[in-house]
Amino acid sequence: MMKADGCRSPVIAVDLGGTKIAAGIVSAGGYEILAREYCPTLADDGIEAIVERVVSAVGRLISRQDMDLSRVCCASIAACGVIDPEAGVIVFSPNLPGCRNIPLRDMLRDRLGVKAVLINDANAAAWGEHQLGVGKGVDNLVCLTVGTGIGGAIIIDGRLYTGSSGSAGEIGHMVIEANGPRCRCGNTGCLEALASGTAIAREAAAHVSRGEPSSLNEIVAGRLEDITAEKVALAAREGDSLALNVINQAATYLGVGMVNLVNIFNPEMIVVGGGVARMGDLLLDPVRRVVRERAFLVSAEAVSIVSSRLGNDAGMLGAAIFALQQGGK
């Protein structure tokens, strides 16, 4: 839609999630990640420590590529949480404890010495999929990023819809079980509290701790706190019935969330990305079944529910393109 011709130098792109930080150098056209660095977020350490980790990761990237920061167009940061994109502020982030009104854009601009742009991570991933990925040419689409939390983003008429104060798209915080489990946002029964990677790990650990048989016990050598959604998926693929049940339950809840999106938005496409989505059809087949069974037929027939094409790179690529389209401002 827009042309990424604001800048002819590479962009530093950072995807700051609740669990992991990914940093990359993206070519000027916004189409290719030239180098990547990863590190854990360790969100409980607080925002100063997180900024330090981002700066180190960028430093390693720059020196690995034998580059100079002065050759960089800008840094574009996709961060989890409610973002005020105009002010460059993380207003609030359930997955970055203590993060309230953090001027992250300017903090990173000052530390890196380059222009910086801040965007919500789910919006960045959606924009990446819409510009380069599975959603190319699709004007009405909803994206879900299922990882530690569940992020969401809405594209209407080919444009990111961010609402009246920039905080639209918090699909993970749609209540689907009014009296359900407590969510990190303070509400109860949110989709995120029922179908995120965190919810899958928590549910599996709860079952195992009650003495129910599962290969997860061996996989984590009895350390239930080491159970992750990834390990639950591994056990499920090996036929472990406890793991399968936990994933089916999460997928059913995810399906109910999608029924809501289908009935509300009647979108052409729902794109599912994020770490948990790497389970692929193990997760998406039950989701599609729930949508067929429970959504309005006319809307269910109109929607494709598909996996992200850009995968882990969607956030970085989307953030880079977004910044380039803004002219690196």
Give the residue with the Cβ less far from a copy of itself, 23 or 250.
Answer: 250
Q: Which residues bind a copy of itself (CB under 8 A)?
A: 82, 84, 91-92, 140, 152, 154, 156-157, 161-171, 173-180, 185-188, 252-253, 256, 259-260, 263-268, 294-299, 301-303
Looking at residue 210, what DSSP letter applies?
T
Looking at residue 147, what DSSP letter applies?
S
At 227, is the secondary structure helix, strand, or coil? coil
Closest separation between CB of residue 90 and a copy of itself, Å?
11
Give the residue with the Cβ less far from a copy of itself, 27 or 252.
Answer: 252
Closest separation between CB of residue 92 and a copy of itself, Å?
6
Give the residue with the Cβ less far from a copy of itself, 107 or 171.
Answer: 171
Query: Sign of the CA dihedral 249, 197, 84, 114?
Result: negative
| 206 Cα distance to chain centroid | 25
At 256, is the secondary structure helix, strand, or coil? helix
Give the residue with the Cβ less far from a copy of itself, 57 or 259.
Answer: 259
Give the residue with the Cβ less far from a copy of itself, 139 or 230.
Answer: 139
Give the residue with the Cβ less far from a copy of itself, 70 or 164.
Answer: 164
CB 252: neighbour CB atoms within 10 A? Answer: 17
Residue 48's contacts (CB-CB under 8 Å, 6 or more residues apart) are none
Closest separation between CB of residue 161 and a copy of itself, Å?
6
Closest separation between CB of residue 279 and a copy of itself, Å?
20
Closest separation between CB of residue 149 and a copy of itself, Å?
13
CB 311: neighbour CB atoms within 10 A? Answer: 16
Q: Which of 313, 264, 2 is nearest to 154 (CA)?
A: 264
At 311, is the secondary structure helix, strand, or coil? helix
Cβ(253)–Cβ(194) below 8 Å = yes
Q: Which residues pair with 306 in a beta bridge?
A: 271
Q: Which amino acid is at 188?
A: T
Closest separation between CB of residue 87 and a copy of itself, Å?
12
Closest separation between CB of residue 114 and a copy of itself, Å?
28
Q: Rounded distance, CA 17 to CA 100, Å?
A: 16
Give the residue with the Cβ less far from a copy of itself, 67 or 168.
Answer: 168
